Structure formats: C-alpha cells, structure tokens
Amino acid sequence: MTEDECYKLIEKHKDDTISLLMLQSWQIDFEVSKLPDDHAAQCWTKLDYLYAKVYFDNEQIKTEELFCKALVHELLHVVMARFDMVQEFAMAHHVPKTGFDIVLNNALEATLVHFHRVLELSFAVGKNKALEVANAQSH
C-alpha cells in the first residue's frame, strides 16, 4: 500500500472508530512511517494530556481490512492507557524486574485482543447502530 493510500484510509476510518471507542476527549494524531520489527502499527500515549499518536507502516499494511484491524487495536491501547501508568510507576520506584513488565504486557495484549474480537462481533451485528449508541452516550 502506498503512503497516500494509507493516509486516505486514516481519514476514512478514524472518526467513526474514535467515536465507537468513545475517545473523543483525546487528541489523537496519526502518522505513516516505517516501524521496527515488522509491526503494522504502533501507538504512543501521554495520559496526562489525553494525547496519543498512532503510527502505521504502509509497507506492512496490505489491505483495508488489515488497516481497520490495526486501527482498532492501536486505539484500544489508548483505551487501556491507564495501565501504562502502573508500569511507569513501578519502574520509577525501581521495582526490580521480576517479570512484571512481561506479565503486564501479556495481560494487556490478551485483553486488547479479546476486546477487539467483541468489537468485531458488534460491527458485524450493525456498525451504524453501534455508532448511534456511542454518539448518544458521548453527549
């Protein structure tokens, strides 16, 4: 996929996905760039400012379906950003590395994958209805 095609998909899908995940209070920026380790997408959050940046690697994203899955997955990281504070707190207080990082990261990823599957099911049932409900609850 070209960089331009990836930016077009961002514009096409970001607003609805942000609404569905009720993240309207966040400032979320998007960028297309080469990512390490063959990742299709990555997310960086700054909870203090309700700010996130989502990166997409257009060389890894081959289809619109893969893009949408990556978008939802990365925005779920924004939803779960408060858990990053737990990790940051532990590291700031010099908690010895006893597998805490690994356990926390595995738990977060497993939760995100589970939540993503639930969202895919709700999309299948009716994306327009889900958007209607999400928009009504955000007001």
Which pLDDT score, from 0 to 100, does residue 70 have? 94
| 135 vs 44 pLDDT, higher one | 44
Instruction: Report the amino acid identity of residue 86.
Output: V
- What average pLDDT does the segment 109-118 reach? 81
Instruction: Report the amino acid identity of residue 49.
Output: Y
N-terminal to C-terminal alpha carbon distance within the chain: 37
For 7, 22, 119, 133, 135, the CA distances from 139, given in Å and listed in that order, are: 29, 10, 21, 10, 7
Which pLDDT score, from 0 to 100, does residue 105 have? 76
Q: Which domains does the chain have, with CATH numbers?
A: 3-137 (3.30.2010)
Q: Are strands 51-56 and 41-46 parallel, antiparallel or unpaired?
A: antiparallel
Dihedral angle computed from the Cα positions of residues 37, 79, 14 and 68, in that order, rounded to the nearest 10 degrees: 50
Task: Take residue 49 and report the two structure tokens written for it.
Answer: 């400012």
Residues 12-65 pLDDT 10s: 999 988 988 889 999 999 999 999 888 999 999 998 899 999 999 999 999 998
Task: Take residue 138 and report the two structure tokens written for it.
Answer: 């955000």
How far is the C-alpha of 124 from the C-alpha of 94, rounded, in Å?
Answer: 45
Report the SS3 class of residue 25. Answer: coil
Residue 29, beta-bridge partner list: 53
Q: Which of 81, 75, 82 lies closest to 116 in space, CA to CA?
A: 75
Residues 57-111 pLDDT 10s: 999 999 998 999 899 999 999 988 888 777 777 777 766 666 777 777 788 888 8
